[in-house]
């Protein structure tokens, strides 16, 4: 990913700094009622010119799942027309409704949804999803006990609703390789600020921080790195980035995620996806949902693999992929969560891609535990528009030493048996790391859960 201008936070409370909203020193479940919240002034930044744009703004509740359009959030009095999408989408001028940015209370924000439906700018099914998202996000943020919870919810939800509506008005279309949109609106910071208050950092851990430093050094040397990981929530990219943003910003901001089609087609997800670097593919779990679309999906996946091959040729790329083909699910009998098994052909595709890139390449096993924050539906659903439940909870991220395919290949060749063995070796490492994170977070063992090969830390403290 090329160097970007120094990003400004996409919003700033008047009279405050752009640093992260602080958490209360004592985090506990709150039994707060939710009165109407008066507006405060909010400043939105436009990174293309450095110009600060002021808005009288209410604080509204928000939820995480979309990445929308590269459009300018501007002052009503400025008289500047809204700028339409570019990139994968169509470049058009759009008359963008300012309903959600002009809301001054929770009541006005929710009324704005009905107003947009009546104006036929917002489909009823999307409106229903937005209301549900608002309620679930609000409840999750108030669980933190943070005294600024009401303001956090109001500011984040107003911007999220605005971005969702903007994409409905002028839908963004993702290319096979999507580069995070950082200006004129910074979607990356929008997502970071949206997900951050859902993470209980006091009960979150990173495993083997030294290996993340090792990975950064390899990226600086022009090497490629692939992280073979389990997958738990739609918020995984944001959670990974937030846990690493203070110690490993190069990884946090430049990671390329192999993403399924649902997060780039669901109206409530798209604005959140626009803030990430993505290789867009069709998941094997949904390949045959519509039989007549199978061939089209296969061709699209081939294009995406070609895009990835071109990216890797340049070196210094880090790619995250979940070879399970989807999110982890709880065992139907025990209700225990565990990393889903890896597809050996997906692992081997990545092995071959980095092996043929011309640059040095390394494959590391990565474990992620964060399902409590935004668990997927119990079963895989065909329809777009799943119900999204959220909660305030700790999260864990761990990486183990790289595993070289050459250690398993026989006479320099990877037989089918060797491919399976290699995928299993990566999976075994991921599950071992996952167990340590689980003991630390769910088992309340904290740092004591560290093992000989997995050292836990909290570098944000």
Closest CA to 384 of 259, 274, 242, 289: 289
Who contacts 217 (Cβ-Cβ below 8 Å, separation ≥6)? none
Dump strand ranges (E) for 217-266: 224-229, 256-260
Q: Which CATH class is domain 106-171?
A: mainly alpha
Catalytic residue, from 146, 162, 167, 170: name it.
Answer: 170
- Can you give the pLDDT at residue 438? 98
Domain ranges of the chain: 106-171, 189-457
The CATH T-level fold of domain 189-457 is Glycerol-3-phosphate (1)-acyltransferase (3.40.1130)
Integer-rounded Cα radius of gyration of the chain: 22
Q: Cβ atoms within 10 A of the Cβ of 173, count?
A: 13
- Can you give the pLDDT at residue 328? 84
Identify the DSSP state of 278.
Answer: E
Tokens 């996946």 label which residue? 301
Planar angle of CA 367, 197, 48, nearest 5 degrees: 95
| C-alpha distances out from residue 10 to 45, 96, 158, 253, Å | 5, 18, 13, 15
Tell me if 106-171 shares its fold with 189-457: no
Query: Which H helix or E strand runs over 425?
Result: helix 416-441
Who contacts 212 (Cβ-Cβ below 8 Å, separation ≥6)? 206, 244, 247, 248, 251, 399
**Peptide bond preceding 184: is omega within 30 degrees of 0, i.e. cis?**
yes
Separation of alpha carbons 53 and 72, rounded Å: 10
Mean pLDDT of successive 10-residue stretches along the chain, which has 461 residues: 31 31 30 31 33 29 29 30 40 76 92 96 95 96 95 95 96 94 96 98 98 98 98 95 96 93 87 94 64 74 87 97 89 90 93 95 98 81 66 98 83 81 96 98 98 97 91
Closest CA to 240 of 307, 174, 168, 322: 322
- Can you give the pLDDT at residue 384? 58
Tokens standing for residue 182:
């950082």
Among this protein's residues, is 314 annotated catalytic?
Answer: no
For residues 212 and 248, is the Cβ–Cβ distance under 8 A? Answer: yes
For residues 264 and 292, is the Cβ–Cβ distance under 8 A? Answer: no
Separation of alpha carbons 382 and 101, rounded Å: 33
């Amino acid at each position: 990913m090329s160097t970007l201008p120094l990003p400004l936070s996409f919003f700033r409370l008047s009279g405050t700094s752009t640093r992260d909203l602080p958490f209360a020193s004592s985090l506990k479940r709150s039994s707060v009622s939710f009165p109407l919240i008066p507006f405060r002034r909010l400043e939105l930044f436009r990174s293309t010119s450095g110009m600060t744009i002021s808005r009288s703004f209410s604080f509204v509740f928000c939820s995480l799942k979309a990445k929308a359009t590269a459009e300018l959030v501007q002052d009503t009095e400025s008289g500047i027309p809204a700028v339409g999408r570019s990139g994968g989408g169509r470049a058009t001028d759009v008359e963008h409704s300012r309903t959600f940015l002009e809301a001054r209370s929770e009541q006005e924000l929710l009324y704005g949804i009905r107003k947009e439906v009546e104006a036929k700018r917002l489909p009823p099914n999307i409106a229903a999803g937005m209301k549900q998202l608002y309620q679930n996000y609000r409840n999750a943020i108030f669980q933190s006990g943070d005294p600024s919870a009401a303001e956090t919810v109001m500011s984040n939800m107003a911007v999220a609703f605005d971005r969702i509506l903007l994409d409905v008005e002028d839908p963004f279309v993702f290319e096979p390789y999507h580069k995070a949109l950082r200006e004129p609106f910074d979607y990356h910071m929008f997502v970071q600020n949206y997900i951050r208050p859902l993470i209980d950092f006091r009960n979150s851990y990173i495993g083997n921080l030294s290996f993340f430093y090792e990975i950064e050094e390899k990226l600086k040397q022009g090497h490629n790195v692939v992280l073979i990981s389990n997958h738990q929530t739609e918020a995984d990219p944001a959670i990974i980035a937030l846990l690493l943003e203070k110690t490993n910003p190069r990884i946090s901001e430049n990671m390329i995620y192999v993403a399924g089609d649902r997060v780039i087609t669901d109206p409530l997800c798209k604005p959140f996806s626009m803030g990430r670097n993505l290789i867009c593919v069709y998941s094997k779990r949904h390949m045959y949902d519509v039989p007549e679309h199978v061939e089209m999906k296969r061709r699209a996946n081939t294009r995406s693999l070609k895009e990835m091959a071109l990216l890797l040729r340049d070196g210094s790329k880090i790619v995250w992929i979940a070879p399970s083909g989807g999110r982890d699910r709880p065992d139907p009998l025990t209700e225990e969560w565990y990393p889903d098994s890896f597809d050996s052909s997906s692992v081997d595709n990545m092995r071959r891609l980095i092996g043929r890139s011309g640059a040095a390449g390394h494959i590391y096993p990565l474990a992620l535990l964060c399902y409590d924050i935004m668990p997927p539906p119990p079963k895989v659903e065909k329809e777009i528009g799943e119900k999204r439940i959220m909660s305030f909870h700790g999260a864990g991220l761990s990486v183990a030493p790289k595993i070289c395919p050459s250690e398993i290949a026989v006479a320099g060749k990877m037989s089918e048996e060797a491919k399976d063995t290699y995928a299993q070796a990566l999976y075994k490492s991921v599950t071992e790391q996952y167990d340590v994170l689980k003991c630390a977070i769910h088992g309340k063992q904290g740092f004591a859960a560290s093992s000989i090969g997995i050292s836990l830390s909290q570098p944000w403290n």
